[in-house]
Structure 1
Amino acid sequence: MRLSPFDKANGGVVLALLALFAAVSPAQAQRVKDLGGFQGIRTNQLTGYGVVVGLPGTGDDNLEYTVQSMRGVASRFGFQLPPGASPSLKNAAVVMITAELPPFAKPGQKLDITVSSMGKAKSLRGGTLILTPLQGADGQIYAMAQGNLAVGGLGADGADGSKIVVNTPSSGRIPEGATVERVVDTGFDRAPMLTFNLARADFTTAQRVQEAINSRFGGARARAIDGVSIAVQAPAGADVRAELMSEIENLTVEAAEAAAKVIVNARTGTVVINSAVRVSPAAVTHGKLTVRIDEAQNVSQPLPFSKGETVMEQHSAVNVEEEKHPMFLMQPGPKLADVVKAVNAIGASPADLVAILEALKEAGALKAELIIL
C-alpha cells in the first residue's frame, strides 16, 4: 500500500481507495507537467563581461575598452601598464558571456555558456576565456566561467579587401564552461501553498487540474485561483513536498479544446488552422486581374536614296486578362478537413487566401480568431 505525501506528513495510515482522475483517459489526455510548471521553479539568466585571449590576430586591436579591460586583468595579477600606453591587442577581445542557471542547481555543477564578441574581433576561434564572474538580475555572482571556445564559424580576408564569412565566427560556446558557486533560493519548501501555473491561460483546464488533484489526494486541497494558477496545500518538509509535486506532475487530465484560431503568415503564405475552426454557409467567388505589357523595338529603315535616317521605334501592347471563377458555396464545416477542402476548391493561392479568410471573417462565416503575422 502506497501512502500519499499528505498521509506521510500526518503520520496516518489510510487505504488508497481514491481513483485517479484520468483512470479512463481520453485520446487528448495530457500529463499535468506538460501543461505548465510550479511557481518559483524556473531557470535564471546569467551574464558576464570578460576577455578572450590567444586569438591569432583576429581580436579587437586597439579599442579603448579592450585596453581598459586588459589593464584590469593585468592589475589582478599585480602588473601595471605604463600610463598612456595603448598596446595593440590583436590577440584579445572583450566579450559578453550568457548562461542559464537551472532550478535547484548546486555549487560545483557545470553550465554551458555562450561567448559573443562586443568589439571589432573578426573571429573568436582559438581563443580562451579568462576567469569571469557571471551575475544574476540581482547583481549577485552565481557562477564563474573560464575555458577554451568552440567556434563553429570562420572568416578570411584577402589583401584586396575581399572576405568570406561562414556562419558566425564572432560567437562561440564552452560546454560546461561555468561552475555554479551559489544556490538560488526558491523558497518552495517554506511557502504554505504550492502554486501550479498553466503555460496557457484556460479556466476549463485550470478547473480540471484542480479536480484531478482533489480526486487523487482527497478533500479540497487544490483550488483554481484564476485561469492560470492552481493553489495546492503543501505539507511541511522539502522531501515530502518533492514527492507531492512529482505525483501532481504525473497526473493526467484532458486539456480544454483550444480556442478556434487561423494563423496566416502573409509573407510566406503559411496557413495554420486548428481543429476547433468552424465555418458557416457562405458563397465565395474568387478572381484576379492580370495586366500584361509587351514591349518591342522595331527598326525603321528608310528607302534607298531617300536621304532618310534609320530609327528605332518603340511599340507597347497592353492587355488585361481576368481569371473568372464561378461562385462557390462553402458548406458548413464541422471538421478541419472540410474547411481545408472548401478553401482548396476555389483554387486560391497562398497570397489570395489571406484576403479570402479576411472576407469570411468579416462576413461572420469564419468561426475563429484570424491572426495575420
Structure 2
Amino acid sequence: MMPTACQPRPLLRRFRRAAALLGLAMALSAVLAAFAMPAPAVAASARIKDVVDVEGVRDNMLIGYGLVVGLNGTGDSLNNAPFTEQSLTGMLERMGVNTRGTNLRTKNVAAVMVTATLPAYAAQGTRIDATVSAMGDSKSLLGGTLLVTPLIGADGEVYAVAQGPIAVSGFSAQGQGASVTRGVPTSGRIASGAIVEREIQFSLAELPVVRLSLRNPDFTTAQRVATAINMQLRGNMAQATDPSSVLLNVPASRRGDVVGLMTEIEQLRITPDQVARVVVDEKSGVIVMGENVRISTVAIAQGNLTIRVTETPQVSQPGPFSQGQTAVVPRTDIQVDDQSNNRLAVMNAGVTLQELVQSLNALGVGPRDMISILQSIKAAGALQAEIEVI
C-alpha cells in the first residue's frame, strides 16, 4: 500500500513533542546546575583569635648562666675565659672540692647562657624547652651536659631550673690543612629540659573587663572586631578605644565563665584592614608590597650609561736576524652602552600592584633598581603608600 501525502504529519508532531521535552530537560538541567554552583568567594577573612591577644595571657622570658661539662676537648680555654674558671672553682667548692691556688687546665667545660620561654599559666612541675649558647671560645657543645641552672625572670625571681644533655644539630671538624663546619655547634637545645618552679598568678575568670590587643594596630580592624563581638553577644559590650585595643565588658550572665566567653569570641571571623605599605630590604634586595598600593599618573624611565674598557695586549715578535726585542703591544677596546633601547613607561592613575610590577619588569628592572624607582616615585608624590626600609 502506497503512503499518502498526509501520513508524515503525525511523525512531525512526534518530533516537535520530543524536541519540546528535550528543551525542557535541558532547561531543568541548567537550573539544577545553577543551584549546584558554589557561592562566589568572599573577601579573605581571619578569626579574631588570629588578630588579637588577650591581656594577661602572655609569655615571659627567662635567662640563666650555667656550666656545660662532658665536652670532648672542645670547651673553653680557661686562660682566655676567666669567668669559666671562676664558675668552675665556685661550683667545685660548693661540692666540697678546694681548687684555690691551682692551675686548672681542663678543656671539657664551657660557660653558657640558658634561655627559655615561660608559657602563660604554666603550673609548677611543667617542663619547658631550654636553649643553650656558648659564651667563651668553646668550639662545640656536642656531647655536653648542662648542670643545674636557675632561670630568672625580669623581676629577678627564679621561675624554672634547667639541666640535662644538650642536643646539637651542627658539627665542626678540622685537620692540618682543612676544616669544615656545618650548622652552629656552639648552640644547642634541651627538649623539656627545664622544670617550672614558680607560677605567675593572674586571675582571668574574675576580670569584669577584658582587653583585646590587636597585633597589627588599625582603626578599621579594631572597629570590625568590636562590631563582630557586639553582634554575637547581641548588645553593646565591646568598644574600640584606640587602634590597638578593644575593651570587652563581661556580661553579668558570663561572670566567672570568661574562658567560655573567649572561646565563642575568638572563633568569630572578620576581614582585617591594612595600611598601604611597601617594605624594602636594601641588603637582600627584597621588596614586599601590600594589596592596596596605588600609583598616580607617572612616567618612568630606567637606564644608565655603561662604559666597558677591555684590555687585550698582544705580543709583537721581531723578525728573524733583526736583532730586535720582543715587545707587548697594548690593545684597548672601549664600548659605550647608553641604554638607547629602553623606553619611557607611562602608568596612569590607579595602577594596581600587579600592573606596577608588570610594567617595571617589562623595562628589565631588577630588584635593586626597583627600590630606587619606588623611592623616586614616593619622592614625586605619586606613590600612595608608605615605604618602610629595613
Q: Could you say which TM-score interval applies, normalised by the shorter chain?
A: 0.7 to 0.9
State the Cα distance separating 1:235 from its structure 2 match. 5.8
Query: Which SS does the other structure have where 1:225 is aligned?
Result: strand
1:69 is aligned to 2:98: no
Query: Which SS does the other structure have where 1:119 is aligned?
Result: coil
Please identify, of 321-330 and 102-111, the stretch whose mean Cα deviation from structure 2 is larger.
321-330
Distance 1:61 1:366 in 2: 57
State the Cα distance separating 1:134 from its structure 2 match. 0.8
1:357 is aligned to 2:341: no
5+ residue gaps, structure 1, are 1-23
1:319-351 per-residue CA deviation (whole Å, 9 max, x = no partner) reads 212112232221334533222222223232223
Q: Is the contact made by 2:295 and 2:352 (CA closer than 8 Å) also made in structure 1? A: no
**Residues 83 and 364 (structure 1), Cα distance of their counterparts in 2 relative to 1, 3 Å cut:** closer
Counterpart in the other structure of 2:5: none
Query: Which SS does the other structure have where 2:117 is aligned?
Result: strand
Q: Is the contact made by 2:205 and 2:257 (CA closer than 8 Å) also made in structure 1? A: no
Q: Please, which of 179, 193, 204 is the counterpart of residue 163 of structure 1?
A: 179
Distance 1:316 1:94 in 2: 61
How do residues 98-177 of structure 1 correspond to structure 2 at under 5 angstroms?
Answer: 98-158=115-175, 160=176, 162-177=178-193
The letter for the 2-side match of 1:344 is N
Distance 1:201 1:169 in 2: 39
Distance 1:302 1:199 in 2: 80
Query: Which SS does the other structure have where 2:306 is aligned?
Result: strand
**Residues 239 and 53 (structure 1), Cα distance of their counterparts in 2 relative to 1, 3 Å cut:** farther
Please identify, of 349-358 and 203-212, the stretch whose mean Cα deviation from structure 2 is larger.
349-358
**Residues 26 and 304 (structure 1), Cα distance of their counterparts in 2 relative to 1, 3 Å cut:** closer
Please identify, of 81-90 and 164-173, the stretch whose mean Cα deviation from structure 2 is larger.
81-90
What's the TM-score, normalizing by structure 2?
Answer: 0.82
How do residues 323-334 of structure 1 correspond to structure 2 at under 5 angstroms?
Answer: 323-324=339-340, 325-334=342-351
What's the TM-score, normalizing by structure 1?
Answer: 0.85
Query: Which SS does the other structure have where 2:223 is aligned?
Result: helix
Q: Alpha carbon RMSD of aligned pairs, Å?
A: 2.4
Counterpart in the other structure of 1:45: 61
Q: Please, which of 326, 331, 335 is the counterpart of residue 352 of structure 2?
A: 335
State the Cα distance separating 1:310 from its structure 2 match. 2.4
State the Cα distance separating 1:110 from its structure 2 match. 0.8
Counterpart in the other structure of 2:102: 85
Distance 2:367 2:83 in 1: 51
Distance 2:286 2:240 in 1: 37
Distance 2:377 2:99 in 1: 75
Distance 1:119 1:359 in 2: 47
The letter for the 1-side match of 2:82 is E
How do residues 294-373 of structure 1 correspond to structure 2 at under 5 angstroms?
Answer: 294-303=310-319, 307-324=323-340, 325-373=342-390
Q: Is the contact made by 1:278 and 1:367 (CA closer than 8 Å) also made in structure 2? A: yes
The letter for the 2-side match of 1:254 is T
1:184-224 per-residue CA deviation (whole Å, 9 max, x = no partner) reads 12343444321100011101111111112222223322221
Please identify, of 264-273 and 115-124, the stretch whose mean Cα deviation from structure 2 is larger.
264-273
Please identify, of 165-174 and 343-352, the stretch whose mean Cα deviation from structure 2 is larger.
343-352
Q: Aligned pair count?
A: 347
Counterpart in the other structure of 2:301: 285
**Residues 349 and 83 (structure 1), Cα distance of their counterparts in 2 relative to 1, 3 Å cut:** closer
1:204 is aligned to 2:220: yes
Distance 1:47 1:351 in 2: 40
State the Cα distance separating 1:357 from its structure 2 match. 2.0
Q: Is the contact made by 2:209 and 2:250 (CA closer than 8 Å) also made in structure 1? A: yes
Counterpart in the other structure of 1:259: 275
Distance 2:162 2:264 in 1: 36
**Residues 272 and 61 (structure 1), Cα distance of their counterparts in 2 relative to 1, 3 Å cut:** closer
State the Cα distance separating 1:152 from its structure 2 match. 1.0
State the Cα distance separating 1:361 from its structure 2 match. 2.1
**Residues 340 and 333 (structure 1), Cα distance of their counterparts in 2 relative to 1, 3 Å cut:** farther
**What percentage of residue pairs aligned between the two structures are identical?**
42
Q: Is the contact made by 1:283 and 1:328 (CA closer than 8 Å) also made in structure 2? A: yes
State the Cα distance separating 1:87 from its structure 2 match. 1.9
1:136-160 per-residue CA deviation (whole Å, 9 max, x = no partner) reads 11111111111111111112232x3
Q: Is the contact made by 2:208 and 2:255 (CA closer than 8 Å) also made in structure 1? A: no
State the Cα distance separating 1:238 from its structure 2 match. 8.1
5+ residue gaps, structure 2, are 1-39
Query: Which SS does the other structure have where 2:288 is aligned?
Result: strand
Select the structure that is richer in helix: 2
The letter for the 2-side match of 1:41 is V
Distance 1:45 1:246 in 2: 26
Q: Is the contact made by 2:296 and 2:351 (CA closer than 8 Å) also made in structure 1? A: no
Q: Higher Cα Rg: structure 1 or 2?
A: 2
Counterpart in the other structure of 1:244: 261
Counterpart in the other structure of 1:182: 198
